[in-house]
């Protein structure tokens, strides 16, 4: 295959990866916990005021997405903390990052024999040009902690890392998808 074609294909794949905002998801939970006993939850808030990194629309999108995911698992929010079986806290970190890509174009020139230079049995000339490009983006990390309301013990933690969608009008679709992907790691599956 043509090297130039493969280099362009790799560049396109990288752009698609960043534009789609693939989320890396991980979770951990207390294996001794019976999650079927949790029917209500209280939203404790955002840890360390990390919600100040968000605008009001994105905050609402995140909270509504979690509310829908917990509802699908038979859990409802309560306004009074004393009536909750579980407590939920969210934490958000946004990091500005830069990715660098490079590819080299090689163009063979005049000469005879194989075009690999002096050491390979032929003499030839060629040029190589390396092109660098940088892409600035924001990586978001969201941590969701679920505590047992009576014991105050952490029983589940979910972590999602992904590129933040730059276009605000697309976040109404990407945020629920990323929350859903994170909640797929929750020990209780959604009810059908």
For residue range 124-139, list pLDDT tens digits in order: 566 778 888 888 777 8
Three-point CA angle 35, 29, 183, nearest 5°: 75
DSSP 15: H
- 27 CB neighbour count, 10 Å cutoff: 16
DSSP state of 138: E
Task: List alpha helices for 55-95, DSSP H.
Answer: 56-71
**Residue 61 Ramachandran class (φ > 0 left, ψ -120 to 50 alpha, else beta):** alpha
pTM for the complete prediction? 0.69
**Tokens coding 25:** 């998801």
- More confident position, 134 or 35: 35
Per the listing, tokens 């806290």 go with 89
Residue 170 has pLDDT above 80, yes or no: yes
Give the bridge partners for 103, in sequence order: 131
Query: What integer pLDDT is reported at residue 127 of this predicted model?
Result: 75
Q: Could you say which of 1.10.10, 1.20.120, 3.30.2010, 3.30.160 is the CATH number of the domain covering 35-183?
A: 3.30.160
pLDDT, tens only, 44-84: 988 887 878 788 898 999 999 999 999 999 999 999 999 99
């Amino acid at each position: 295959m043509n090297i130039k074609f493969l280099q362009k294909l790799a560049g396109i794949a990288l752009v698609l990866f960043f534009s789609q905002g693939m989320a890396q998801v991980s979770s951990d939970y207390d294996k001794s916990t019976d999650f079927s006993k949790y029917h209500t939850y209280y939203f404790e808030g955002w840890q360390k005021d990390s919600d100040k990194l968000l605008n009001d629309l994105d905050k609402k999108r995140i909270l509504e997405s979690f509310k829908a995911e917990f509802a699908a698992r038979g859990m409802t929010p309560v306004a009074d903390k004393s009536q909750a079986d579980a407590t939920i806290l969210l934490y958000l970190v946004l990091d500005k990052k830069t990715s660098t890509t490079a590819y080299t174009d090689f163009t063979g020139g005049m000469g005879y024999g194989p075009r690999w230079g002096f050491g390979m049995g032929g003499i030839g000339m060629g040029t190589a040009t390396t092109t660098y490009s940088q892409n600035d983006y924001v990586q978001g990390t969201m941590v969701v902690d679920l505590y047992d309301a009576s014991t105050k013990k952490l029983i589940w933690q979910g972590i999602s890392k992904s590129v933040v969608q730059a276009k605000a009008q697309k976040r109404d679709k990407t945020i629920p998808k990323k929350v859903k992907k994170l909640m797929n790691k929750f020990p209780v599956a959604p009810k059908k």
